[in-house]
Structure 1
Amino acid sequence: EISFRPISVRKLITEMKNTTELMIDLAYSSILFNNEEIGKEIYKLEERMDTLTYYVMINTMLAARDVDSAKKLAPINTIAHAINKIADAAADIAGIIVQKLGYNEILLDVICHSAEPISRIEVSKKSKYINQTIGEIDVRSETGADIVAIRREMDWIYDPNKDTQIMAGDILIVRGAVPCIHMVNILLGDGSSSELQECKKIGEKLAKDTEARENIRSLLEQLEIMLFQLKSKSEMMVGLSFYSILFKSEEVARDVVEMEEIIDDLHVEFEKKILNLAKLLKNPLNLLGLLRIGIATETISDACEKIAEIVLRKLELHPLLNFILSDADETIVRVQVEENSSLIEEKVGSKLIQVETGMRIIALRRDDDWVYSPNKNLKIETGDILISIGPLNGKKKLEEMALAK
């Protein structure tokens, strides 16, 4: 039974968004490391998401005084249910490992070449760093990895900072290259190198299977490219859809809807390729994991579209939702870099952009390709579309910088 306690809806929605993004990262990492423990962490987070959705529903029902106010509050429940659908999709991805649905080399290859993986490390009682803060341990400098979240019994700490204390039994969610994750495990965990060994096995398996399947190399390569696109675009849509509703940005919302249409078409082609590949395999059941992940990415994109549509439909909103959306000291801006702009050849993480505008580039579109959370060393080119968030007074400055000199 879930007991109700009053929490601000803005806080609930923000926690739901943070939780789903973490779940997606963990889901892909459970596949990378073939780790059921990571998968089971996702199932626990899924239960937490159900609780948060319940809290949102109760809060909105308490705020509704008549039919008119209920209609205006409906978008809040739409957002909560959509985010919860994303969480369910992440759990479905983790189910590939937990339910042993097909540990496929294409999945491994895509995730190995994607962003840095995430792993789960339990803080050992024997670690000499117990009760010290992240800053005192200097985790980033010592290991090259980042602690992105901590589970302490049933409570979660998102985006822990240098003052966050590490305690025995904490479950650390760590992002970084595999050797870096291993270093964190040496400092704070049991010191095992299971992740390191697993990645070595992955490399050996990929090389062996590629040689054995020379006759179907073309299909495998096409599936790998398509799966990478499905994965990266659906992940990007989660952040952008949330920002579109948070900042009431129709431009960003339209970008999300456009991506959803691309994923729809891509998913159909992806399934066709899987069926063609199944004809050539002795055991087509090995492709079940690929099918599952394809469906999950489309579920994520559909849910993100539902969130973005709230902005595009321009529904009359309840004062509570207007308060949620307006209670922010940041804004979002979408600019296209013109020829001879001062931004050209600047790096995404350049001090010029940060100091002059205070804006942070969260996504970049180049031709028909999107990059979410672009590398800080990526150079900006003519025609790039930048989506950035930051202080209200930085929006106009970035718009001016994007114009031709």
Structure 2
Amino acid sequence: MTALTGVPVTRPTALADARLARLRAVMADADADWLVVSGVADVLYASGYRSVSDAVIGRGGLVALVGQDDLWLCGPAADGPAAVAGGLPADRYVGWGRFFFDEPEGPTPGWAHAERYAGLSEAVADALQRSGARGRILAEADLGELAAATLPTASVSGGARRVTGAARSAKLPGEVELLRRSAELAEAGIQAALSELRAGVTERELGARVAATMAAGGGEPRFVVVATGERSALADAPLTGRRVEAGDIVRFDVGCVLDGYWSDVGRTAVLGEPDATLARRYAAVLDGEEQQLRNIAPGLGGAELFEIAVAAVEAGGITPYRRHHCGHGIGLDIYETPGVGPASRDVLREGMTVNVETPYYELGWGGIMVEDTVVVTTEGCEWLTASPRDLRVVEP
């Protein structure tokens, strides 16, 4: 491995090695010699490198080339030193675009003066040629066309996303622990806000407490919904200066990212004793979630799990209960396989991580929700969230 002068090198973690090993095993099952993948989550899974700029800007600027015994990464010139500092050999990073680094005198990888390719396609073509990629190459769309044009003797076809999807769907133990910790940070943020919930506090103040708590624990806050009163019916409402009043519903839907792994936790509170309508409706959505949790097991379909949730909520008196989904897989993306919706064809397997949720929104009244993360086990599921799921009643 080539060290990056002036920057400490972090060796690849055991989890990064395990992810790459699993991906290569799935490649072998698919009779693939090489895989060409893009997208923040797939590139991270394959290479161990997470680009902050690519995650924020979403420009699709990174591509990983995965062979059974080799790994190349193509990306913006600005990302090169960070990727190498994370453990990627410098001669396996092919940069594109222009960025300027000053370097100390002496032997260095040459970040300051290296010629850069104008665009990603040129960088990928160079990596394909220099890697010696051959045999059966799986890629998608434009990347497949580029690989076929660059390596005319190779067998290039689609299916790269099926391979990465199969590898990522069941989580490794290290992934489960990161998802658990990410969920813990989200729950800690909600609990910190609840400790400050009182008449007169604003949504922004509560949201700031949520975000600060997640960040202090090492998470990157990604969404913080703290919607109060009638605004709690607005599904993904931004924080405002609205002040909480006695009797208000306070709905939390928050998540962060920890080492690339997402959390997504929902809780509901009320300032003062709930009226009969709120109590009855919350009992219905809570039972809907609990029935999902009792029935989760390998072999259950995502559509079946959705119907279980809907039937339980309607039995509790919210009729009709209309939802496009009642859960989703979660991991390096916030929405992953399996889907929990009426048209889902996904089937639960051991090791899948699933968010189950049963929100209810009524404009002019308010919104309530409870959302938790579990991992599917041979006997059902194991909880990754741990905070109380009942309607949190806070004294005004």
Smaller-chain TM-score bracket: under 0.3
Richer in helix (by share) = 1
Provide the TM-score with structure 2 as the length reference: 0.27
Greater fraction strand: 2
Mark the structure with the bigger radius of gyration.
Answer: 2
